[in-house]
Amino acid sequence: MTVIILLLIVSILIAGGFLIAFLWSVNDGQFDDDISPAQRILFDNKKTNTK
Amino acid sequence: MRSHKNISENSIACYHCGDTCSNDSIHIEQKYFCCTGCKSVYEILNENDLCTYYTLNQAPGNDQKKEIRKDKFAFLDNDEIKLKLLQFSCAKKSQLTFYIPQIHCSSCLWLLENLHTLDSGIIESRVNFNVKEVFISFENEQTTLRKVVELLSKLGYEPHLSLNEISQKQLNKIDRTRWYKIGIAGFCFGNIMMMSFADYFAISNTVEPAIKYFFSIMSVALSLPVLFYSANEFFISAWNGLKNKYLNIDFPVALALIITFSRSLYEIYNQVGTGYLDSMTGIVFFMLIGRWLQSRTYQSISFDRDYKSFFPIALNVIKEGYVKPTDLMEVKKNDIIQIFSNEIIPVDTILSKGVAKIDYSFVSGESEAVSIQPGEMIYAGGKQIGGLLELIVVKEVSQSYLTNLWNNPIFDKKQTSQQSIYDIIGKYFTYAVIAIGGIAALYWYWMGSTILMWNAFTTVLIVACPCALLLSQNYTNGNIIRILAKNKLYLKSAEVLNKITQINHIVFDKTGTITQANTSRTKYVGKVLDAELKLMIASLVKQSAHPASHLIFDYLNCNSTVEVQHFKEVEGKGIEAWINEHHIKIGSPAFVGGIHNIENKGTVVVVYMDGHIIGDFIITNKYRIGVSNLLSSLKKHFKLSLLSGDNDAEVKNVEALLGADSEILFNQSPTQKLEHIKYLQNALHHEVMMIGDGLNDAGALKQSAVGIAVADAKNSFTPSSDAIIDANKLTNLDTFIQFIKQGKYIIFATFSISAIYNIIGLFFAVQGTLSPVIAAILMPCSSISIILLTYGLTEVSAKHYKLNRD
């Protein structure tokens, strides 16, 4: 049964990794603007790539 | 394929901006434009192969009827001003962020991010749609700040450059702490819950004690960041309340958190139980989300603007024959400044050269422009309508007439944290909880069981945490604010909702609020007016001071006049006279006489000559459409008043709209408006809501319990206020108020439901038998059912009031 302790530590570490990823993305400003990225992806990239 | 031309009842929509074209003279092939400005934007985009702009959205442009003066942005070549605006600058490149209020659709986004095709000096442009900002970096060798701004303006995206935005630039950092707090609380809550599963399924007896102990230690470790970081705002707020000697709603929450935590530590240390850490972290997590929902304000809207955002950054100062763009703050007394057409005069001045026609509607509420002779004073805040002016500065910007209003103590008053109704509930709640806990503890002490005594006392405090109240309040308010914003009423904070429910007196401004500013239109129907007829009518109306006469005179556009004989005016009815041997009568249908069948809304002025009716001038309704319905439905629930800075020419119309028992005051100065609101509050103890639009209402808006600013165009200026409403939605105000009031009942309803959970919890708690399992079931049940209920009820209520919910 003691293996459960190991499993728990591993699972918390993995979850911790996701928490860090989340905090990182917040810090990066990914949640500041929730409108333009959704629009931007729909634009035809033809012209922006020519630069 | 969508057709390029929208023809409905002979009106053509502009291909660029969608406005109605007055005629079809301006066009390129099948594409029609309302003005040459719109056409030239289309030409620029067409040349550069940027017509995707028009395929993303129909008529996405901003109208270009206002021409931009050639050297308007010359001041951007001034190094000092440039330095203030730029965020980063080195020899090679510069970077800055513009606030562009015109950003409204994906076409805007697309065009602004493709600026480099129009100016190769622009390295990057990136839009933040939420705050309507564009971040631009450009190469100094290839382009200049001035060229970039001129390009933006040419495309219809003139950046908002103002003193206020500059001084606030450093402060405008986005606060992301709430995201961090929610993330950490969610993470810890989830993991603690996972480790508590053994308890939930009552299999904890089969788990080895070593593992159980390890689980508990891990839970404590995970709860620490929640208690000390995520939940710190509850402790800080409770402590601030205590310091000011009152118990706010955060106090019982903080108390419950501390007691839950210490009780759990005690249980784990003595190995008598596993504690309530899962419930504690869960509550913090749900409450933080609720607070985030409630405080999600609309970043692109500025609620605290003052005169500074309204003034330009720089003025043209004439020194020794040269024109030098100068920072507004450095304009001194006796400087000679230039003001161009349609520009705002930011300082008190004396006119020295030019034809001045000043529109003070924004600062005083007067609807007619004033002509000013050389040597006379022109006060700050007026807008020049005529041509170029040269003015001598009398007072600097910080001391001018307009700025003085902001020296009123009301603007210095820090928003004192008023005790909201929830804080008052919180106070009694705390007393009640401590009383119940105390009685239970005393009972068990009397029964001789000290363990049960402590047990009962602490669990009562844990169970009775007013989280449910906070949750129902936060989630309801959050959703109401969101729905109202969809309907274009933007609230500054959730506190405003509560204030709106207490309102019993609504004060309106006239110009720009219940009337539309500068929109009285004159139309003529009837026999064609030849030059002679025009001349005679113009000569006659010139004799009268009635506003309708002014409008007709402007409409006829005659420069000369002829002699008028036997002039007679019946006040408010009409005028008559003999001109060139003709008897002419002009006035209301009743005054002129004869049968008249007119279905038009608005003021009808009939022209009658020598026994025949020639035709009618129709002055279209200046009042906003639907305003009379709004006022008559508001009249049933509220006392109404009108404070206008304008003269009393419209008194009859206004009286008809507001009803005879309403108070109507004209010729009110900004300070008088403020004082009148104070009078209503202090002498009559009314809870006042003020609805206004201009700078002249700024003091009154601030003084009222709720100040709502009316925003007309997309980028119009709104003074400091508690809420901003789109002018077209003003007529829905009564529905909004009812909806907000309904929200209060929703909070009470959901809170009562959560009280049932609390009573169940208390039932176990006073007996000292509340197990962590029951707590762990009750907590998420009550939280989630409250969240779902508030959401559902607000949506149903919004549907009932036919509000827009997408």
Instruction: Find the mean pLDDT for residues B676-687.
Output: 89
Dihedral angle, C-alpha B65, B66, B71, B76, nearest 10 °: -110
Q: Which of B127, B183, B211 sits opposite A5 (nearest CB)?
A: B211
B187 touches chain A (CB under 8 A): yes
Q: Which phi and psi angles does B373 have, rounded to 5°?
A: -90, 150
Are B52 and A26 within 8 A, CB to CB?
Answer: no
**Min CA distance, A46 vs chain B (Å)?**
11
Q: How far is B130 from chain A (nearest CA, A)?
A: 6
Distance CA B709, CA B695 (A): 10
Q: Residue B451: pLDDT above 70?
A: yes
* Residue type, position B157, single letter: Y
A47 near B CB under 8 A: yes
Structure tokens at B308: 């500074």
Residue B416 has pLDDT above 60, yes or no: no
Q: Euclidean distance between the first and final Cα of chain A, in Å?
A: 61
CA distance B375 to B353: 9
Span B595-601, mean pLDDT?
51
Cα A34-A40-A43 angle, rounded to 5 deg: 155
Q: Which residue of A has its CA nearest to B192?
A: A12
Residues 6+ apart with CB under 8 A from B467: B253, B256, B283, B286, B287, B783
pLDDT value at position B715? 45
Q: Indicate the range of B191-200, B315-324, B549-558, B678-687 predicted with least confidence.
A: B549-558
> Whole-angstrom Cα distance, residue B50 to residue B40?
13
Rounded to an integer, the average pLDDT of B528-532 is 79
- How far does CA B101 lie from the centroid of its chain? 13
Residue B179 contacts A where some CB pair is shorter than 8 Å? yes
Which residues, at least 6 apart from B306, have a Cβ–Cβ distance to it below 8 Å? Answer: B164, B406, B411, B698, B719, B720
Q: Say whether pLDDT at B85 is over 90.
A: no
Q: Confirm if B775 and B463 have CB atoms less than 8 A apart.
A: yes
- Separation CA B737–CA B71 (nearest Å): 47
- Set out the domains of chain B in order of their start, with CATH numbers: 7-56 (no CATH), 74-168 (3.30.70.100), 312-411 (2.70.150.10), 482-517+624-740 (3.40.50.1000), 522-619 (3.40.1110.10)
Determine the distance in angstroms separating the CA of B222 from the nearest CA of chain A, rounded to an integer. 10
Average pLDDT, chain B: 80
Q: In what order do the strands lie in the sheet with B11-13?
A: B7-8, B11-13, B20-21
Give the span between the Cα atoms of B707 and B303, in whole angstroms: 11
- pTM score, whole prediction: 0.75
How many inter-chain contacts (A to B, CB under 8 Å) are there?
A: 74
Per-residue pLDDT tens digits for B538-555: 888 877 766 677 778 777
Separation between Cα atoms, residue B248 and residue B502, nearest integer Å: 20
B255 vs B468: which has the higher pLDDT? B255
Rounded to whole angstroms, the Cα distance separating B214 from B201 reads 18
Compute the distance between CA of residue B387 and CA of residue B453 in angstroms, rounded to an integer. Answer: 85
pLDDT digits (tens, 9 = 90+) for B750-800: 888 888 888 888 888 777 777 767 777 777 778 888 888 888 999 999 999
Task: Report CA torsion sign: B482, B486, B492, B498.
Answer: negative
Q: Which of B345, B403, B364 is nearest to B511 (CA)?
A: B364
Residues of chain B with Cβ-Cβ distance to A18 below 8 Å are 187
In what side-by-side order are the strands of the sheet with B122-128? Answer: B88-89, B93-99, B133-139, B122-128
Which of B173-187, B563-577, B713-727, B739-753 shows the lowest mean pLDDT across its residues?
A: B713-727
What type of residue sits at position B802?
A: K
What is the mean pLDDT of the segment spanning B634-650? 81
Dihedral pair phi/psi, residue B382, rounded to 5°: -75, 155
Six-digit token string for B281: 């972290």
CA distance B443 to B768: 11
Amino acid at B34: C
**Terminal C-alpha separation, chain B:** 26
How many Å lie between the alpha carbon of B105 and the closest alpha carbon of chain A?
9
Return d(Cα B124, Cα B134) in angstroms, integer. 10
Q: Does any CB of chain A come closer than 8 Å to the CB of residue B109?
A: yes
- Cα B122 from chain centroid? 33
Most confident by average pLDDT, B12-26, B176-190, B264-278, B554-568:
B176-190
pLDDT at B169 over 70: no
> Is the separation of the CB atoms in B787 and B294 below 8 Å?
no
Angle between helices B733-766 and B772-800 (to 10 degrees): 160
Q: Exposed, middle or buried by CB within 10 Å (0-12, 13-18, 19+), for B428? A: exposed
Q: How confident is the model at residue B231 (pLDDT cuts 50, 70, 90)?
A: very high
* Distance between CA atoms of residues B328 and B325, nearest Å: 9
Q: Are B18 and B5 within 8 A, CB to CB?
A: no
Q: Does residue A20 belong to the interface with chain B, where contact is any CB pair within 8 Å? A: no
On chain B, the residues whose CB falls within 8 A of the CB of A48 are: 113-114
- Please state which of the ranges B272-281, B717-726, B792-801 shows the lowest mean pLDDT: B717-726
Q: Smallest Cβ distance to B218: which of A8, A16, A26?
A: A8
Out of B106, B128, B180, the one facing A32 most closely (by C-beta) is B128
- Which residues in chain B touch residue A31, judged by CB atoms under 8 angstroms apart? 176, 179
Q: Give the Å distances, CA to CA, from B588 to A20, A46, B614.
A: 75, 64, 14
Asked if A31 and B176 come within 8 Å (Cβ–Cβ), the reply is yes
Nearest CA in chain A to B120: A51
Reading the block at residue B218, the tokens are 């891990």
Question: Residue B659 — φ and ψ, nearest 5°?
Answer: 95, 155
Q: Are B634 and B626 in contact (CB under 8 A)?
A: no
**What confidence tier does B199 reach under pLDDT thresholds 50, 70, 90?**
confident
Task: Give the strand order in the sheet containing B348-353.
Answer: B322-327, B314-319, B336-339, B389-395, B348-353, B377-378
Which residues in chain B have their CB less than 8 angstroms from residue A4's CB? 211
The answer to whether B388 contacts chain A (CB < 8 Å) is: no
Helix pair B651-658, B627-635: axis angle to 10 deg: 50
Tallying the residues shown for chain B, one arrives at 806
Tell me if chain B has a CB within 8 Å of the CB of A44.
yes
Give every CB contact of residue B608 below 8 A, 6+ residues apart in sequence.
B584, B585, B586, B592, B593, B594, B614
Distance CA(B178)–CA(B290), nearest Å, equals 11
- d(CA B183, nearest CA chain A) in Å: 7
Banded model confidence at residue B79, pLDDT cuts 50, 70, 90: confident
Write the DSSP string, B546-557: -HHHHHHHHHHT
Q: What is the ipTM of this complex?
A: 0.87
Among B45, B55, B109, B222, the residue to mutate for chain A (most A Cβ within 10 A): B109
> Pairing state of beta strands B356-359 and B370-372?
antiparallel
Q: Which of B80-84, B151-155, B206-210, B455-459 has the highest mean pLDDT?
A: B151-155
Q: What does the pLDDT average to over B739-747?
A: 90
Backbone conformation region of residue B432, classed left if phi is above 0, alpha if psi is from -120 to 50, else beta: alpha
For Cα atoms B282, B267, B281, give the angle at the middle one, nearest 5 degrees: 10
Residue with tokens 């820090």: B414
In chain A, which residues have their Cβ closer than 8 Å to the Cβ of B109?
Answer: 36, 39-40
**A contacts of B191 (beta carbons < 8 Å):** 11-12, 15
How many CB atoms within 10 Å of residue B530? Answer: 8
Q: For the packed helices B627-635 and B733-766, what is the interaxial angle rounded to 10 degrees? A: 50
pLDDT at B170: 45
Measured between beta carbons, the chain B residues lying within 8 angstroms of A51 are: 116-117
- State which H helix or E strand residue B734 sits in: helix B733-766
Q: Where do runs of H (alpha helix) occur along B378-466?
A: 401-405, 409-412, 421-446, 450-463
Question: Which chain A residue is nearest to residue B191, measuring alpha carbons?
Answer: A12
Is A24 part of the contact surface with chain B (CB cutoff 8 Å)? no
B52 touches chain A (CB under 8 A): yes
pLDDT of residue B81: 79
The CA distances from residue B702 to B246, B303, B458, B742, B775, in Å, are 26, 11, 45, 26, 46
Q: Among candidates B629, B639, B636, which has minimal Cα distance to B507?
A: B639
Backbone angles phi, psi at B525, to 5 degrees: -130, 145
**Alpha carbon distance A50, B760 (integer Å):** 67
Quick one: how far is CA B231 from the chain centroid?
31
Residues 6+ apart with CB under 8 A from B5: B12, B13, B15, B30, B31, B32
What is the residue-wise DSSP string for B353-399?
ES-EEEE-HHHH---S-EEE-TTSEE-TT-EE-SS-EEEEEEE-GGG
Q: Give B372 to chain A, closest Cα distance, Å.
A: 48
Cα(B344)–Cα(B391) distance, integer angstroms: 12
Q: Across residues B25-34, what is the average pLDDT? A: 79
The pLDDT of residue B661 is 78
> Is B130 in contact with A32 (Cβ distance < 8 A)?
yes
